[in-house]
Amino acid sequence: MYIVAGLGNPGKEYAGTRHNMGYDALDYLAEKYSVKFNKLKFNSVYGETTINGEKVVLLKPITYMNRSGIAISEIMKFYKLPTENLIVIYDDIDIPAGTLRIRPHGSPGTHNGMKSVTQYVGNNFPRIRIGIGKNPDMDLADYVLQRLSKGEREKINPIIEKAAEAAVEIINKNIDSSMQKYNIKATGEQ
């Protein structure tokens, strides 16, 4: 069994913002696998499906970003899952927009949602980071909570879809296969 958690903030006011890339990736998977987010438990909304014979829970914590670890730890404890069976998808300002980075484990970096997750469940789980870059001329909170323009959305949607597919690749094969297939550098990045 796997849990694929997409980090974001609940509510219409946060839909379509840079900080909700994890939610967006889960929406893509939900559409692809005909999953409805119709369960409310573990401080989350979630739905279930089967991928490659494995039960998979698509989980959106509704604790708000900075408390995501509370929700994820609740469901992990309930199902008694090892952390290796958790996959977290989230936005990352520390990598350029258009970049996708998949790693088997690591530090949370500057991401407060991931700091919460690692505080509650540790560091030993695959993570899929969707690069959103930074805008030095904007307050960080304003930037990550800003809705994407139509042009930005057209550029980031394929990256969000690849992030979702990267999670499926981890479930179907393994983290190494996912990293080889889906790690993407932004145009012009060395």
When pLDDT is averaged across residues 106-111 and rounded to a whole number, the result is 92
- pLDDT of 190 > 50? The answer is no
How much is the pLDDT for 5?
A: 98
| Boundaries of every domain in the chain | 2-182
Catalytic residue among 19, 101, 129, 162: 19
State yes or no: is 105 an active-site residue.
no
Q: What topology is assigned to 2-182 in CATH?
A: Rossmann fold (3.40.50)
pLDDT by residue (tens digit) across 12-70? Answer: 999 999 999 999 999 999 999 999 999 999 999 999 999 999 999 999 999 999 999 99
SS3 146: coil
Q: What is the 3-state secondary structure (H, E, C) of the chain?
A: CEEEEECCCCCHHHCCEHHHHHHHHHHHHHHHCCCCCCEEECCEEEEEEEECCEEEEEEEECCCHHHHHHHHHHHHHHHCCCHHHEEEEEEECCCCCCCEEEECCCCCCCCHHHHHHHHHHCCCCCEEEEECCCCCCCCHHHHHCCECCHHHHHHHHHHHHHHHHHHHHHHHCCHHHHHHHHCECCCCCC
Q: Is the pTM of this model over 0.85?
A: yes
Both tokens of residue 164? Answer: 């979702």
